[in-house]
Amino acid sequence: MADGAMPSDRYTQGLATRRSVLGDDHVDRATAAATPFDQPFQELITEAAWGHVWSRPAWSKRERSMVTIALLAALGHDEEVAMHVRATANTGATREDIGEALLHVAIYAGVPAANRAIRIAKQVFGEMDAGKTI
C-alpha cells in the first residue's frame, strides 16, 4: 500500500482474484511498473474492480469475462479488450462465448466497435495458439 497501511481484506481478495484472472506474470508486471504517481490507481482497481466486483459470488468468472469484453469493446478500449481476451484462458470463457458477446456489441453498440474487437480477439487467439503466454 502506498501509505504503508496494511491492505484491507477487500484489497487482499481483489489481488487474489486479479491474479486468478489475469495471471501472476501480468499482475507482477503491473505492480513492478507502479510509480508513486499511479500506485493509488493500482490500489483502487485492485480493491474496487477486483475486490468488489470480480470477487462477487453471483456470477462466475466466465460470465464476468464475457460481459467485461463486451463492455470494453463497446467503449473502444482496445488494449483492455486484448488483455481480457487473453484472460479467457483463466476464466473459462470460450471463443464461442466471446463471439456471441461481440455479436451483441455489433447490435447494441455498433458494427465498427464489434469489427475492431473481433480483429483484436482473432489476433490474441492466434498468439495464444502459437504458445505465447498471457
Domains assigned to the chain: 9-53 (no CATH), 61-129 (1.20.1290.10)
C-alpha cell at 38: 499511479
Cβ contacts of residue 67 below 8 Å, gap of 6+?
59, 101
- pLDDT tens per residue across span 39-63: 999 999 999 999 999 999 999 999 9
Neighbours of 68 (CB within 10 A): 23
pTM (predicted TM-score): 0.91
Cβ contacts of residue 26 below 8 Å, gap of 6+?
83, 134
pLDDT for 90 equals 97
